[in-house]
Amino acid sequence: MKATLDDKDLKILDILQSDSTLSVKDIGEQIGLSFTPTYERIKSLERRGIIKKYVALVDRVQVGLDIVVYCYITLKEQSKEALMDFERIAVSIPEIQELISLSGTYDYVMKIVSTDIGSYNNFVVNVVSNIPNIGQYHSSIVLNEVKKETAFKIPK
C-alpha cells in the first residue's frame, strides 16, 4: 500500500537520500520547519518503514572489488517450496548483493561483486553451481557503470 506523504515529507526524503548525515536542524532549515516537527516527521518516516536504514556508500573499486556480474538463473523446478529453498540459500551468501525474482526467460538475477574474474569464476564453480535446483546460469560482466543512482525520484 502506498504511503501518504505531503510535500514536507517528500522534501525530507529527497534531502536524506542526498546526505543522510545532515542534522535535523539543517534539514528543518531547508524545509522551513523547526527542530521538533522535523524530528517527529523523520521518526514517523522511520516507524512507517519508509526510511529503512541509513548507510555509507562505499566506492567498491577503492576497496578492491573490481568486478560486478549479473548472474541470470533458471531453476529446474518451479514449485513454491523449491523457489523458497533457493531464495533462503541465496540470500545467505554474502557475495550476492541483490537477488531479484523475474518474469520471463530467467527466474532470478543475482548481482555479485568480486575482486577479479578469477575470484568470480571460483565463486560460480564452488558456490553458485552447488545451490540445489539451479538448471542454468548465465553471467553478464559489467564493463562500465554509465549511471548508478541510489536515490529514488519519488512521485508526488
Model pLDDT, residue 58: 94
The residue segments making up the domain with residue 134 are: 61-141
Torsion 31-32-33-34 (CA) sign: positive
Q: Which of 78, 70, 75 is nearest to 135 (CA)?
A: 75
Mean pLDDT of 49-77: 96
On whether both 40 and 102 belong to a single domain, the answer is no
Q: Is the pLDDT of residue 1 over 90?
A: no
73 lies in a domain? yes
Which domain CATH number covers 117?
3.30.70.920
Average pLDDT, whole number, for the chain? 95
As for how many domains the chain has, the answer is: 2
52 lies in a domain? no
- Alpha-carbon span 93 to 126, nearest angstrom: 12
**Model confidence, pTM:** 0.85
Mean pLDDT of 42-66: 96
70 lies in a domain? yes
Which domain CATH number covers 25?
1.10.10.10
What is the four-CA torsion angle of 118, 122, 123, 128, rounded to 10 degrees? 130
Dump pLDDT digits (tens) for 75-106.
Answer: 999 999 999 999 999 999 999 999 999 999 99
Dump pLDDT digits (tens) for 27-51.
Answer: 999 999 999 999 999 999 999 999 9
Q: Is the pLDDT of residue 16 over 80?
A: yes
74 lies in a domain? yes
